[in-house]
Amino acid sequence: MRIALALCLVMGSTFIGQALSASSRRRVALLKNWILGVKMLRIHMSGMLETVDKALRMTDCPAMVQVSENMQNGQSAATAWQSLREKLCRHGNALDALKTSDREVLDNLFENLGQTGRSAQSMHLQSILKQLSDQLENARMQLSECQRLYVTVGFLVGLMLALVVI
Amino acid sequence: MTIADRLEDCISKEAVLCLMQNMESLREIRIRIGQPVQIVAGETFQAGEPVDLKMMKNMLLKLTDFSLYSREEEVKSGYFTLDDGSRVGICGKAACQDGKIVQLTHVGSMAIRISRACPGCAGPIVESMIHEDTLPSTLVFSSPGMGKTTMLRDIARQLSILGHQVAIADERHEIAACVQGIPGMDVGPCTDVMDGCPKGLAIGQMVRAISPEVLVTDEIGHHQDAEALSDAVRCGVTIVASAHGESLEALLNRPILARMLNEGLFKMLVQLGECPGKIIGQWRFQGNNWEGGQFQCV
To the nearest whole angstrom, how far is the Cα of B110 from the nearest Cα of chain A? 18
Q: Are strands B279-288 and B43-47 parallel, antiparallel or unpaired?
A: unpaired
A46, A51, A68, A72, best to mutate vs chain B, most B CBs in 10 Å: A51
Distance from CA of A34 to the nearest CA of B (A): 20
B64: closest chain A residue by CA: A51
Q: How far apart are the first and last CA of chain B?
A: 43
**Beta-strand pair B100-113/B28-32:** antiparallel
This complex has an ipTM of 0.75
Distance from CA of B212 to the nearest CA of A (A): 29
> Could you read off the pLDDT of A110-132 as tens digits, one per residue?
999 998 888 899 999 999 999 99
Dihedral sign for Cα atoms in the order A113, A117, A120, A121: positive
Q: Are B9 and A74 an interchain contact pair (Cβ–Cβ within 8 Å)?
A: yes
Return the pLDDT at B125: 92
Q: Of A14-18, B162-166, B175-179, where does mean pLDDT reach its minimum?
A: A14-18
Interface of A with B in 72-131 (CB under 8 A): 74, 76-77, 113-118, 120-121
Mean pLDDT computed over B245-272:
90
Torsion over CA: B183, B184, B186, B189 (sign)? positive
Complete DSSP assignment for B212-234 = -SEEEESS--SHHHHHHHHHHHH
Q: What is chain B's mean pLDDT, rounded?
A: 89
Residues on chain B bordering chain A, Cβ-to-Cβ distance under 8 angstroms: 1, 5-6, 8-9, 61-62, 64-70, 72, 103
Percent of chain B with pLDDT over 90: 45
For the CA atoms of B94, B95, B99, B102, the dihedral, rounded to the nearest 10 degrees, stands at -100
Distance CA A23, CA B32 (A): 53
How much of chain B exceeds pLDDT 70, in percent? 98
The yes-or-no verdict on residue B295 having pLDDT over 60 is yes
Taking only Cα atoms into account, the Rg of chain B, rounded to an integer number of angstroms, comes to 20
Q: Which residue has the higher pLDDT, A60 or B38?
A: B38
pTM: 0.74
Q: What is the pLDDT of residues A70-93, one digit of tens each?
A: 998 888 999 999 999 988 988 888
Residues B146 and B119: their CA atoms lie apart, in Å, by 16
Residue pLDDT, tens place only, B118-150:
899 999 999 989 887 789 999 999 998 888 999
In this prediction, residue B291 has a pLDDT band, given cuts at 50, 70 and 90, of: low
Q: Is the pLDDT of residue A24 over 90?
A: no
CB atoms within 10 A of CB A153: 15
Give the model's pLDDT for residue B290. 57
